[in-house]
């Protein structure tokens, strides 16, 4: 039997019972489509995590005093910032921004809200990827004018000056009047994930001189030279701090958190989500495969007589098996192709707030799987057909 005739026989088998063929294809479409879509959602979720981390500053390292069970451990000093910045060991550190903070009430006109007042330098905005929306950033020259300036984050700006034009206005922070010189752009979902409050920023010297005092500082934000240098920079920071604070500074004396740790923590949950989605998808693919077996078994049963006739006319067992194998494989390949198309259509809009990201490898995998399903789940019915006893087969329905 020629290959082209084998294909022709299979094609007639498919068109012979179009409804059933279409339903089988739909099963495969759902299976393959959901594999690609769900894996794309998982991908989208982990991409979102990475984007969020990038939005927070992919090379930002935060150093804070660790919690010690024996009471107060070593505290961060402003000199630590200087030491890290000027250390010859810390070659992967680009910039350092010390921070002090205090919870205050901010009053502008008739409005009063609670805010976190952060004393820092303009480097802080660079390190944390914060962008000035209006006005300007903090500047070293602010000290010359007494340093009575603040930069508002988007939320405190909205709360204090709902009508906009915050720049140039005066805000009473605690009892200190400070002039707004800049407003940050909204950091979006990423920053809201990590801080829910309103924050305003002032020059660190100004905050220390009259608000928090000249004690220890709360944290250091350190920018690595590039995102890939983050782990090395963290190690260097640890070394510098150990040198300055002596043996007390080893281990957990200081908490040095990097975006990688964050990514691992968030990525871990994304990975387990991924696994679950892939599992659900695999089950629907399996169900589709069993559907193909079921339909092919029905088809073989329904066409028992035809199989008997074909055998009597000299069809070899392999020709019979081949015809049904090709039918099954064609159904699942068509289903697979349509499933890919369906997945591309479905994933054009966000699913559950996550913009899905289709990975080309998944498409290849799903396409391969659908061919595999046709072969694996079509084999048993095909072999049943090819082994049918022609005498029995011809007796059916006489």
Partner 1 sequence: MIPAIELVGIERRHPGLGGAVVHALAGIDLTVPVGEFLAIVGPSGAGKSSLLNILGCLDRPSAGELRIDGHLVSAMPPKRVADIRNAEIGFVFQAFNLIPALTARANVELPMVYAGVARSERRVRAEEALSRVGLEAKMDRHPNQLSGGQQQRVAVARAIVNDPAFILADEPTGNLDSESTEDVLGIIEHLHRAGSTVVLITHESDVAARAERIVTMEDGRIADDQARRPLAGGLQVRR
Using CB under 8 A, pick the residue from 133, 317, 355, 372 that binds partner 1: 317
Q: Say whether residue 309 binds partner 1 (CB under 8 A).
A: yes
Question: How many residues at the interface with partner 1, by CB under 8 A?
Answer: 25
Please count the residues of the chain. 398
Question: What sign does the CA torsion over 336, 338, 342, 345 have?
Answer: positive
Q: Say whether residue 287 binds partner 1 (CB under 8 A).
A: no
Nearer Cβ to partner 1 (47/301): 301
Q: Say whether residue 310 binds partner 1 (CB under 8 A).
A: yes
Give me the least distance between CB of 301 and partner 1, in Å please.
16
Nearer Cβ to partner 1 (8/279): 8
Q: Say whether residue 316 binds partner 1 (CB under 8 A).
A: yes
Q: Say whether residue 5 binds partner 1 (CB under 8 A).
A: yes
Q: Say whether residue 313 binds partner 1 (CB under 8 A).
A: yes
Give the pairing of strands 111-120 and 199-203: parallel
Residue 275 to residue 98: CA distance in whole angstroms: 41
Q: Say whether residue 19 binds partner 1 (CB under 8 A).
A: no
Q: What is the CA radius of gyration of the chain?
A: 34
Dihedral-angle region of residue 397 (phi above 0 means left; psi in -120 to 50 means alpha; beta otherwise):
left
Q: Say whether residue 391 binds partner 1 (CB under 8 A).
A: yes
Q: Give the chain's end-to-end CA distance (angstroms, integer).
A: 28
Alpha helices per DSSP H over the chain: 3-16, 18-55, 78-86, 123-127, 154-160, 188-194, 204-207, 230-245, 259-302, 304-312, 317-346, 360-386, 390-395
Of 242-250, 282-290, 293-301, 302-310, the window that binds partner 1 (rule: CB under 8 A) is 302-310
Using CB under 8 A, pick the residue from 131, 286, 312, 341 that binds partner 1: 312
Cα–Cα nearest to 210, from 77, 82, 102: 102
Nearer Cβ to partner 1 (16/174): 16
Nearer Cβ to partner 1 (4/72): 4
Residue 331 to residue 107: CA distance in whole angstroms: 70
Q: Provide the binding-site residues for partner 1, judged by CB under 8 A.
A: 1-2, 4-5, 9, 12, 16, 305-306, 308-319, 390-391, 394, 398
């Amino acid at each position: 039997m020629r290959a082209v005739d084998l294909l022709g026989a299979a094609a007639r088998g498919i068109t012979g019972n179009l409804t059933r063929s279409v339903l089988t294809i739909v099963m495969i479409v759902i299976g393959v489509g959901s594999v690609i879509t769900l894996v794309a959602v998982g991908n989208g979720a982990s991409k979102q995590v990475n984007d969020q981390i990038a939005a927070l500053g992919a090379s930002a390292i935060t150093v804070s005093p660790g919690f010690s069970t024996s009471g107060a451990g070593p505290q961060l000093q402003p000199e630590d910032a200087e030491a890290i910045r000027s250390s010859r060991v810390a070659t992967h550190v680009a910039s350092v921004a010390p921070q002090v903070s205090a919870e205050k009430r901010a009053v502008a006109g008739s409005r009063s809200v609670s805010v976190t007042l952060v004393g820092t330098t303009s480097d802080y905005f660079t390190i944390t990827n914060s962008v000035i929306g209006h006005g300007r950033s903090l500047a070293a020259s602010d000290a010359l004018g007494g340093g009575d300036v603040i930069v508002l984050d988007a939320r405190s700006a909205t709360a204090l000056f709902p009508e906009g034009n915050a720049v140039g206005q005066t805000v009473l922070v605690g009892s200190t009047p400070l002039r707004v010189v800049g407003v940050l752009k909204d950091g979006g979902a990423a920053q809201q994930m990590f801080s829910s409050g309103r924050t305003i920023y002032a020059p660190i010297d100004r905050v220390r001189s009259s608000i928090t005092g000249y004690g220890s500082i709360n944290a250091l934000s350190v920018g690595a030279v590039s995102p890939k240098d983050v782990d090395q920079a963290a190690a260097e920071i640890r070394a510098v701090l150990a040198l300055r604070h002596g043996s007390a500074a080893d281990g957990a004396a200081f908490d040095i958190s990097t975006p990688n740790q964050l990514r691992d923590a968030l990525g871990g949950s994304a990975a387990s989500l991924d696994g679950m989605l892939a599992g659900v998808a695999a089950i629907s693919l399996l169900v589709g495969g069993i559907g193909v077996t079921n339909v092919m078994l029905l088809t073989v049963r329904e066409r028992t007589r035809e199989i008997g006739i074909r055998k009597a006319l000299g069809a070899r067992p392999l020709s019979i098996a081949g015809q049904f194998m090709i039918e099954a494989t064609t159904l699942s390949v068509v289903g697979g192709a349509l499933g890919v198309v369906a997945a591309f259509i479905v994933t054009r809009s966000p699913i559950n707030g996550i913009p899905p990201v289709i990975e080309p490898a998944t498409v290849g995998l799903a396409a391969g799987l659908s061919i595999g399903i046709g072969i694996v789940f079509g084999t048993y019915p095909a072999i049943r057909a090819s082994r049918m006893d022609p005498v029995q087969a011809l007796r059916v329905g006489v």
